[in-house]
Amino acid sequence: MENTFTRTIWLIGEEKYEILKNANILIFGLGGVGGYALEALARSGVENFTIVDADIVNPSNINRQIIANNNSIGQNKTEIFKERLLSINNNINIDIRTMFVSEENIDTFDFNKYDYIIDAIDSVKSKIAIIKKATDLNIKIISAMGAGNKINPTFLEVSDIYKTTVDPLAKAVRLQLKKLKIKKLKVVYSKERPIKASDVVAPSSMIFVPATMGLIIASEVTKDLIDLKNETKGA
């Protein structure tokens, strides 16, 4: 008799599935990238999450964010995701923090509780606060770089922050990490050169790059948690 995670167990085995099930993940940012990462991890069997986002759903989110639709406009993203994740797996434990994370409040999070941190936010100052705390405590972390103004997901790569190119957000993060003497950071970034058809200052995007970046992040977290690095290399 098959159940929700039968196919997952067939792929990775019962022991590794139990590791995922018991993992505790902290996710900052529930937009186009973080939302897909969260969804993928929930559908992979992870049952413990803390999710952090201050935003509500806006009409402009509908073109790329997994929870955004005409019925969710105006609602807190954290609340919508709690309901959505429990509809996927009612055993999930989810702590929601409807807030903007900053240097001033980063210490309200007990990073030692978590097996992995996902940084999927845009603010450089907030990213640095998250990265520094995770690094200081030796907690695994993966950070999303810029997904805006890009359309081709095949340019996405998993890399160390100091090997990134093209991406302006990655450059800004690199400069700050150098000052802090943080020597490494696992990131997902795009080597695609930015495109834009209008003169609007705000970053623009469609679903392809943010969603794929989120799925790659979820895959990397999963592989790291269950130690599948060697088994998943290509021929």
- Condensed to tens digits (0 to 9), the pLDDT of residues 11-50 reads 999 999 999 999 999 999 999 999 999 999 999 999 999 9
Note the pTM of the prediction, 2 decimals: 0.96
- Give the number of residues written for the chain: 235
Taking 50 as the pLDDT cut, the residues of the chain under it are none
Dist. CA 87–CA 27, nearest whole Å = 19
Buried b / exposed e over 63-74, threshold 16 CB at 10 Å, is: ebbbbbeeebee
Residue with tokens 């018991």: 22
Question: Tokens at residue 40, please?
Answer: 């993928």
| Beta-carbon-side half-sphere exposure of residue 45 (alpha carbons within 13 Å) | 25
Please provide residue 220's backbone torsions phi and psi, each rounded to the nearest 5 degrees. Answer: -65, -40
**What's the confidence (pLDDT) of residue 2?**
80
| Distance of alpha carbon 121 from alpha carbon 100, whole angstroms | 10
- pLDDT at residue 122, rounded to an integer: 93
> What is the structure's pLDDT at 19?
98
In this structure, are residues 42 and 21 in contact, taking their beta carbons and an 8 Å threshold? no
- Strand 24-28 to strand 116-119: parallel, antiparallel, or no bridges (unpaired)? parallel
pLDDT at 231: 58
pLDDT at residue 232, rounded to an integer: 61
DSSP 31: S
Question: Please, which residues bridge with residue 28 across strands?
Answer: 52, 119
* Of 43, 130, 56, 57, residue with least CA distance to 86: 43
| The two three-digit tokens of residue 137, written as one number | 């405590």
E-assigned strand segments in the chain: 24-28, 48-52, 93-97, 116-119, 141-144, 156-160, 186-190
Domains along the chain with CATH numbers:
6-226 (3.40.50.720)
Longest alpha-carbon distance in the chain: 56
Position of tokens 């160390």? 160
* Two tokens, residue 144: 């999303």
